[in-house]
Amino acid sequence: MKRRRSPSDEDNPLYSHFDKAFLNLTKQPAEIIALVLSYIPKYFLGKFLECEALVPHILPYITTHVRIGAMAHKDADPLNWFRLKFLEINEPVVLMEKLRDIVSKYGIRMKEASISLGSELAALGCHLADEKYNMYHYYVPCKVAIERWKTCYVDVLSHIDLLHIMDEFIDQKSMHVFEVLQRHTTIGSAALDFGRDQDVTELNGAREEINEEEEDREIEQGDWEIEDEDERESDSDDDENEEEDDDIEDEGGEIEGGDQEINLEERDIADGDERDSSSDDDDDDINEEDHHVIFPNDDAIVEKELATLYTSLVRFECKGGLYLTGQLLSQFEVLKIISLKSLLVSDFKFLPKTLESVKIQYLIENEDLVEVIVPKNLKNFDVSIKLDQTCSYKLVSHMKNLEVLRLEDSTIESIEELDLPASKITSLDLDYPSSLEDYSPILTFTNLKTLRIAEVPFPTELFHDENNLPNLRSFIFNGPEVFPEKPVFGRDTKFPRNLTELIWFGDVTIDRWKPPHYLQKLVLICPEFKQQRLFHLPKTLTFLRIYASNLKTLDNYQFPTGLKPLELHDNDDLESMKNTNLKKLKELVYVDFCDYGISLEPYLFAKKNPTDTNHRYQFNSFTMDRSVLHRMTKFSVKDKRIKV
C-alpha cells in the first residue's frame, strides 16, 4: 500500500493499525470490500487510490460522480474522525493528475464531474512555476490560462459526460470558458454574478411603478411627436426674432453698475433654480436607471453565451443585479436546479417544467395570479418573502410533490395556510415566521426528517409526546434575542424518540430533562442547568458541545464511551472536573476546554499511555495553542493561550 509516511509513523499506533486493517481488507472478498467502503465518506475515498488493490473497488464511485481538486488535508496527516466530519461533499475528490493516470490505465468514463476552474488554474500555475500549491488562492479564469489548462488535461475532459463548473462568472469576458470547454465535454452547471446587488425595498418599490413607467413612456412618445410639429412651425418665427434679440442684448450692456449687480443676483438665483431642477432630473435619471437594473431586458447579456447551454445545463445560478425574464429561463430544456436573486411572480409560470429545486432570494408580486402554474416535479422550494404576499403562498399550495420547504420572513399565521402535502414533506425550515402561532399542523408531517425554526418562541406543542413525528432526525432551534417567556426543558418536554441531532441556540432552563434515547449530536448554547450539573447523556451520543452554561462541576461524570469531539466553551462557573472517564474514551479525537482555569485531572493525557498520546488528537486544548486549530481548519479562530 503506497502512502506517504511521516517520520512519526513508527511511533504512531493509528498509522500501523490503519495500514494493517486496509492491507488485510484487500485480501477479502469483493462484497466485503464494497461493504467496508460504503461506510467511508465518499469525499475521503480518493485517499485510498494510493492502494492499487482498492482502485477497482473505488472506480464505481468515480464513474458516477467525481470532484476534481485537492483535498483539504495533507496525505501525511493521521486518519481520524475529526478530519472527516466537516466536509459535506458527496463524491470522491481526486487530483487532476491522479485522475488522468486512472483514465489512462482503466479507460473509464465519468458520468458527472465537478470542478473549480479557479483553483485548478492556481494549481497548474504553481506546478509549472515549481511553487507550493495553495488551494485557497483563487485565480479568475482567463482565455489563455484556460487554453493552457485544457491542453494539459484534454484527455480527461473527453472522458467526462457532464462537467459541473462551480466557479461564479462575474462578467461576459469570463464566460468564454464555456466555449473553450464545450469542444471536449458537455457543461452541466453554470453560475453568474453580474452587477450590483439591489436592496429589497427598491425591488418592492419598483414592482408598483412598472405599469406607471410603461404608461409614462407612451405619453412621452406622444408628447415628443407634438413637440416636433411645434418646433417645425416655430422655426420661421425664431428667424424673425433673432435681430430683436440682438438689439436687446446690446441694450443690456449699457445697464448701470447698481442695476447690473441686481441683475447678477437675479441671474444667480435663476441659475440656482436651474441647478435644482437639473439635480431633480438627475435623481429621476438615477431612479430610472435603478429600475432598469432591477427590471431590464438583461436577456441579451447572457443569451448569446448561454444559447449553446440550453440543452445541457441541469443547474443554473444567477446572482447580483442581473435580471432574467421567464421567457429566457423557459428555454432551458433539462434544467433541474435553479437559484435566482429575484423573480416576478408573473414569470414563475415560465420556469422550466423539468425543475426539481428552486431558490429565489426575492419573489416579487407584480400581479394577481389568475392561473397558477408550477413545475410538476418541484421538490425543493427556498424563498424569501418580505411582504404579505398572498400570491407567493398560492404558489406553494400548488406544489403537490414538495418535499423540502424553506420560508423566510413569512407572515402566515398557521401552517395550514400553505396546504402542504403532509405525507411528502421531509424538511421544513421556517426563518422568522413573525406571525406564525399555530404549529400543530406540523404534527401531520409523518415523514418529516429535518425541522429548523428560527427567531420565534419555542413551539412547545410539538414536543409533549415522544411518539410524535416518528421520522424526525434533526431539530435545530435558534431562539429570538429576547424570549417572551424563557423555555424550560423538564419532564414534560419530550422530543421524538428517534431524534439523533438536537441543536439549540438561545436561553433555556434544564430541569430533570431526559434527552432522546438515540441522540447522537447535542449542541446547547446558553443553557441554564437548574442543579448546575450535567444530566445523564445517552450511550449513543458521539458529539457534545456546551457553550456559556452555568455548569459548576463535572466531577465523577461518566461521558458516553463513543464520544468523539467534546467542546465546553465559556462555562465561567465550571470549577472542577475530576475522576471522569475521559482517559478511557478510545474514540475521543477532539477536546476543547477553551479559556478555563479549572482543576483538571493531571493524568488525563499522560504520554505513558499510548491511547492518550498527544498525536492521537486532531486538537487538544489542554496541550495545544488555538493557532494550531486555525492552521488545521482554515477558518478564523482567535489565537488565545489556553489556561490550564
Cα separation, 569 vs 637, whole angstroms: 13
DSSP conformational letter for 79:
P
**What local confidence, expressed as pLDDT, does residue 623 receive?**
56
Is residue 81 domain-shared with residue 120, that is, in the same domain? Answer: no
CA 22 to chain centroid, in Å, comes to 35
**What local confidence, expressed as pLDDT, does residue 239 receive?**
54
Cα separation, 61 vs 233, whole angstroms: 80
Is residue 90 domain-shared with residue 141, that is, in the same domain? Answer: no
**What local confidence, expressed as pLDDT, does residue 122 receive?**
74
In a domain, 490, yes or no: no
Report, in angstroms and rounded to the nearest whole number, the Rg of the chain calculated over CA atoms: 33
Is residue 133 domain-shared with residue 35, that is, in the same domain? Answer: no
- Cβ atoms 157, 150 nearer than 8 A: yes
Any idea which residue has 434515547 for its cell? Answer: 517
Is residue 170 classed exposed, middle or buried when 0-12, 13-18 and 19+ CB atoms within 10 A define those classes? middle
In a domain, 617, yes or no: no
Residue 450 in grid coordinates:
429535518
In a domain, 455, yes or no: no
Residues paired with residue 331 on neighbouring β-strands, in sequence order: none
Residue range 525-554, pLDDT digits in tens: 999 999 999 999 999 999 999 999 999 999
Is residue 79 domain-shared with residue 124, that is, in the same domain? Answer: no
In a domain, 49, yes or no: yes
CA 431 to chain centroid, in Å, comes to 15
Cα separation, 54 vs 643, whole angstroms: 45
Of 161, 185, 209, which residue constitutes the final position of a domain?
185
Cα separation, 508 vs 75, whole angstroms: 43
CA angle 349, 351, 355 (to 5 degrees): 125
Amino acid sitting at position 470: P
CA distances for 24 relative to 17, 21, 27, 77, 428, angstroms: 11, 5, 6, 21, 44
Residues paired with residue 338 on neighbouring β-strands, in sequence order: 316, 358
User: What are the backbone angles phi and psi of residue 406, rounded to the nearest 5°?
Assistant: -130, 120
CA angle 488, 491, 495 (to 5 degrees): 80
Residue 193's H or E segment, with its range, is: strand 187-194
Is residue 53 domain-shared with residue 23, that is, in the same domain? Answer: yes
Cα separation, 48 vs 40, whole angstroms: 10
Is residue 99 domain-shared with residue 126, that is, in the same domain? Answer: no
Is residue 52 domain-shared with residue 10, that is, in the same domain? Answer: yes
Any idea which residue has 464513474 for its cell? Answer: 63
Cα separation, 622 vs 403, whole angstroms: 45
Cα separation, 318 vs 191, whole angstroms: 6
Residue 500 in grid coordinates:
439523533
Of 185, 212, 238, which residue constitutes the final position of a domain?
185
Other Cβ atoms less than 10 A from the Cβ of 606: the count is 11
**What local confidence, expressed as pLDDT, does residue 289 receive?**
36
Cα separation, 613 vs 16, whole angstroms: 15
In a domain, 550, yes or no: no
Residue 210 in grid coordinates:
412598472
DSSP per-residue string spanning 93-150: EE-HHHHHHHHHHH---EEEEEE-HHHHHHHHHHHHTT----TT------HHHHHHHH
Is residue 50 domain-shared with residue 129, that is, in the same domain? Answer: no
Taking 70 as the pLDDT cut, the residues of the chain under it are 1-21, 70-88, 125-142, 195-299, 301, 386-388, 594-644
DSSP conformational letter for 438:
B
Cα separation, 372 vs 399, whole angstroms: 10
Cα separation, 167 vs 183, whole angstroms: 19
Length of the chain: 644
**What local confidence, expressed as pLDDT, does residue 587 receive?**
82
Cα separation, 146 vs 157, whole angstroms: 13
Query: What is the reported pTM?
Result: 0.72
* CA distance from start to end of the chain: 41
**Cα torsion angle, 612, 615, 618, 619, sign:** positive
Buried b (16+ CB within 10 A) or exposed e, 400-438: eebbbbbbbbbbbeebebbebeeebbbbbbbbbbeebee
Is residue 49 domain-shared with residue 9, that is, in the same domain? Answer: yes
**What local confidence, expressed as pLDDT, does residue 180 receive?**
84
Is residue 5 domain-shared with residue 92, that is, in the same domain? Answer: yes
DSSP per-residue string spanning 141-158: --HHHHHHHHHHHHHHHT
Of 170, 185, 200, which residue constitutes the final position of a domain?
185
- Cβ atoms 577, 598 nearer than 8 A: yes
- Cβ atoms 573, 547 nearer than 8 A: no
**What local confidence, expressed as pLDDT, does residue 245 receive?**
52
CA distances for 153 relative to 110, 126, 137, 459, angstroms: 14, 16, 21, 55
In a domain, 14, yes or no: yes
Residue range 27-60, pLDDT digits in tens: 899 999 999 898 888 888 888 888 888 999 999 9
Cα separation, 644 vs 642, whole angstroms: 6
**What local confidence, expressed as pLDDT, does residue 285 receive?**
43
- Cβ atoms 102, 39 nearer than 8 A: no
In a domain, 34, yes or no: yes
Is residue 93 domain-shared with residue 29, that is, in the same domain? Answer: yes
**Cα torsion angle, 393, 398, 400, 404, sign:** negative
**Looking at the 3D structure of the chain, how many domains does it have?**
2
Residue 405's H or E segment, with its range, is: strand 404-408
Cα separation, 408 vs 59, whole angstroms: 41
Quickly list H helices, 295-422: 299-306, 326-329, 390-397
In a domain, 23, yes or no: yes
Structural domain span for residue 26: 1-103
Report the 3 state secondary structure along 549-584. CCCCECCCCCCCCCCCEEEEECCCCCCEECCCCHHH
Is residue 155 domain-shared with residue 85, that is, in the same domain? Answer: no
Cβ-proximal residues to 398 (8 Å cutoff; 6+ apart), any chain: 372, 374
Residue 526 in grid coordinates:
446558553
CA angle 632, 637, 638 (to 5 degrees): 135
